[in-house]
Each structure stands twice: as structure tokens, then as C-alpha cells.
Amino acid sequence: MSNGPFCSVVIPAFNEEQNIEESLVSLVNQSYPRDRYEIIVVNNGSSDRTSQIASAYADLVLDKPEGNVGAVRNYGIANASGEVIICTDADCLVPRDWIEKGVVPLQKKPHHAFGGGLRTREGAGWVEKYWTLNESGQSTQQRALMGSSIFIWKKDFEELGGFNEIITSGEDSDLYERALSNGITVTINADLSVTHLGCAKTINDFIRRQSWHSENYIPDLNNSLKDRVFWLTLIYLNCLATALVMFFAANFLFAIIALTFAQIPAATLSVKRITRSAWRLNSLGELSKIILLDNFYLIGRSMGLLKSASKTISRLGGRLNR
């Protein structure tokens, strides 16, 4: 790979002092020649030692205190020198041959983009384990690009107009959809999967993150309407609302029926995740944990949807009162 294309690894970071050193060490020690890639960290207004730690390993540390994650990634890429843009996050560990395994197929297939999924870290708790469903590291759940592992030619990235800077999350999925619309083939490869050190470890953290991920449902409604998870969230939320109304009306039978129907979207997500990851169920206990986690997933998504709707209504009300 001594004649391989020069690559730029771009990493957004916000208060990542606990994870960024381990992440950068895994990037520095790659099988790909060190003089054929640069590491760029974009500090998004951290108040901890993120920037100082990054300076010890990265080739370039930039500051962009304001802006959503898409804007932070774009800022780093705008200052990148590589022909190939590689995206990951400051709380991700990458395999030693990660860059090489991403660049080799990219060289063979122009006008392509490649990505990976998430591996389960060693010692993971049940929330992490049953969310990633990838202890072997040999499978991926998602079909879209994730910001933790993206390989794309810079010229293709620029033709797509970069990441969406308006939405607060989901900039990776948005890039994926636009790539497909513009004739770029996207391949998700398990060899490019990374270990997410910052994966939610508790139910509260898990729900909070899913709420954040779904805050763009209303502002980005056109794309949301094409998203099956959005519709499953709506069904789930409607079931919960019906159960709550029936409970306060002392109609406990209908409340139980509504909660039972809420398991349909949760189970739908579970079946999809199990199938895509080729996870082998060893017991009904494992299945119950997976379905329970998808209930928490939809609870978080519902909270984000309600929050998004509330903000939109408030903005519309403010405009009407002007």
C-alpha cells in the first residue's frame, strides 16, 4: 500500500477525554503506511482535555465550537488533504487493518462508498450486547452509512454537497440516501466495523440517545415519511397514548390490549435486527431482552418525536404572533 491514495481520517469530538486517546492510538497503529494518511480531529467546543489529548496523536486539531455534527465533519473535511475521506468518531476503536481494508476496495471500485457497523466491546453489559448483536464482529445490522465508519472519495463527497449541517443527527443516513440518489454504490462491510466505546450502557442513557436521534423527525419530515422506523414509532406512540387514556378512564382491559398491540412494532424491529445480524438465539430470555430493548428504543424515539413536534408548534406560534 506504499502507493495507495493519501487518506484523511476526520473525527468530530466533544468532551471525549475518556475515550479519544484509545481511539487515536488505534488509528495511529494501522497497517496502512502512516505517511499515506492524516488524522484530523475537530474539537466541537469541548470543556475537558479532549483537544490537548488529541494534539499528542493527531496531525491536525481544529476548533469549531458551534454547529451540528454535520457541520463539524464538513469543517474537518474542508481542511483535509486526502483523496479519500474516512469518517469515524472519537469514541470508536478500529481494527489494525481498518484503513487498508477500506481503501483497497475503494481503489477497485470508483464511484463507490464503503462503511461498517458496530462491534460489541469486551465486557459489554446487556444493553450494549443486545443492541449491537455482533459479538463475533462478523455481521452488521444496518444497511445505511454510519458516521463511525465511512470511506468515500473526496471528489464524490464534494459532489454530494457534504453532510447536512442543519439536522442535529442522522447526517450519515442523509448522506447515504443522497449517495444512492446520485448513482454512488454503497457497500456495508463487516470488516470495516468499529468498537463503539461510547455505546449506551444504561437504559436511561439509551433512551436519552434515541430521543436525541429522533429530534429531526418533524424538521426533516419529507425524509421521515420514507423511514419505516418513523412509522413504527408513530404506531407505538399511538398505542401508548391509547393505553394511558384507557388507564385513566379505568378501562384496564383496553389499556392492556393497547399495550399488547405496542409490542407489534417493537417485535418488528427485533426480528429485523436479529435477521440482519444473523444472531443465534440461545433462549427465550435472550429474545425477551432484545424485545425489551426495542421497547426502550421506541420510547426514546417517541420522546424525541414529541419534543420535535413541540418545538415546531412553538416556532409556528411565535411566527403567528408577530
* Residues 88, 115 contacting (CB under 8 angstroms): no
Domains by residue range for the chain, with CATH: 7-196 (3.90.550.10), 203-320 (no CATH)
The confidence score (pLDDT) of residue 322 equals 65
pLDDT in single tens digits along all 322 residues of the chain: 678 999 999 999 999 999 999 999 999 999 999 999 999 999 999 999 999 999 999 999 999 999 999 999 999 999 999 999 999 999 999 999 999 999 999 999 889 999 999 988 888 899 999 999 988 777 777 889 999 999 999 999 999 999 999 988 889 999 999 999 999 999 999 999 999 998 899 999 999 999 999 988 998 888 889 899 999 999 999 999 999 999 999 999 999 999 999 999 999 999 999 998 889 898 999 999 999 999 999 999 999 999 999 988 887 777 766 6
Write down the residue that cell numbers 442535529 correspond to. 168
pTM: 0.87
- Among the listed residues 84, 92, 108, the one whose alpha carbon sits nearest the alpha carbon of residue 32: 84
Q: Please state whether 185 falls in left (phi above 0), alpha (psi between -120 and 50) or beta.
A: beta
Write down the residue that cell numbers 464482529 correspond to. 137
- Among the listed residues 86, 123, 130, the one whose alpha carbon sits nearest the alpha carbon of residue 104: 86
- Angle, CA of 116, 121 and 124, to the nearest 5°: 135
The confidence score (pLDDT) of residue 86 equals 98
The confidence score (pLDDT) of residue 113 equals 97
The confidence score (pLDDT) of residue 137 equals 78
The confidence score (pLDDT) of residue 121 equals 85
* Residues 53, 21 contacting (CB under 8 angstroms): yes
- Among the listed residues 250, 169, 245, 171, the one whose alpha carbon sits nearest the alpha carbon of residue 213: 169
The confidence score (pLDDT) of residue 73 equals 98
